[in-house]
Structure 1
Amino acid sequence: MNEPAPRPEPSMTLLALPVLAGCRRLFLRDHAVDVRIGVHDFEKTAAQRVLFNVDLYVPLALSTPTADRLDEVVDYDFIRREIQAHVARGHVELQETLCDALLQRMLAHPRVKAARVSTEKPDVYPDCAGVGCEVFGLKDLP
């Protein structure tokens, strides 16, 4: 019996797009945060574990350090702070709403050309690894 081939990570293929040529991909993987999220009554009584995965695409011209200093690049802490700040605003009904809002926050950074944001609720169903949502956005930079 043949096993299915492993799926390529979608974000890896994005760097091959001509519009993202010359970009660096920064990423945050499986960042676990307790979030008040969901539409069902039982989801409104307690926070749930949500896994966040974020890719930022930053032009090399805006993120290649010459002095090996943090202010020359996009700091990974930016991603974590934006997630925390949004989650702290209160209950979110849908993962789609959460993803869309976080995507806009990532794209608001002046150095970020494109971003991919996914959320996953790993504890919803006992018969699957998780349920989630993913969005991608691209902006024009001068």
Structure 2
Amino acid sequence: MNSFLFHPNLADCRRLFLRDYEVQINIGVHEFEKKGEQRVLINVDLFIPLDESTPSHDSLDEVVDYDFMRSTIAKRMAQGHIHLQETLCDDVIKAMLAHPKVRAARVSTEKPDVYPDCHSVGVEVFRIKESQS
């Protein structure tokens, strides 16, 4: 279990997630990686305060839509080649935290086709938005 789930600033939050979102993306520092797309798996967790995500009218506009996560990732991918998974994670998490209802986020990326002797290589980042006092 990830320890960030027990952070006291997240106790009043709902967790929204996107699991193993498979994309083809231009990513990598090696010359062979710059010549085409490769498969990347992206995972996102968003932590949204219950008072910002508990619908009273069963309406989509009362919550954060899953499409927000997918479209945010698509916008970053459309910007062109990325050298590092760290850059991709940092850019995606920054955009996720820009949503006014999101208090915290976790983003991970995995490249499953890099080495034949392991499942994947990847990066993960977790951030909590600073208080808006």
The TM-score range, normalised by the shorter chain, is over 0.9
Give the gaps of 5 or more residues in structure 2.
Answer: none
Mapped pair 1:83 → 2:66: no
Q: Number of residue pairs matched? A: 132
Moved over 6 A (4+): none
For the pair shown, the structure with the greater C-alpha radius of gyration is: 1
TM-score (norm 2): 0.96
Q: For residues 24-63 of structure 1, what are the structure 2 equivalents within 5 Å?
A: 24-63=14-53
Q: How does 1:121-140 map to 2 (within 5 A)?
A: 121-139=111-129, 140=131
CA distance in 1, matches of 2:10, 2:43: 19
8 Å contact from structure 1 (residues 39, 93) kept in 2: yes
Asked if residue 116 in structure 1 is aligned to residue 106 in structure 2, the reply is yes
CA distance in 1, matches of 2:117, 2:26: 22
2:89 equivalent to 1:99 = yes
Q: Distance in 2 between matches of 1:141 and 1:55?
A: 21
Q: Work out the CA distance in 1 between the residues paired with 2:54 and 2:8.
A: 19
- TM-score for both structures, normalised by structure 1: 0.90
Q: Partners in 1 of 2:86 and 2:6 — Cα distance?
A: 26
Unaligned runs of 5+ in 1: 1-7
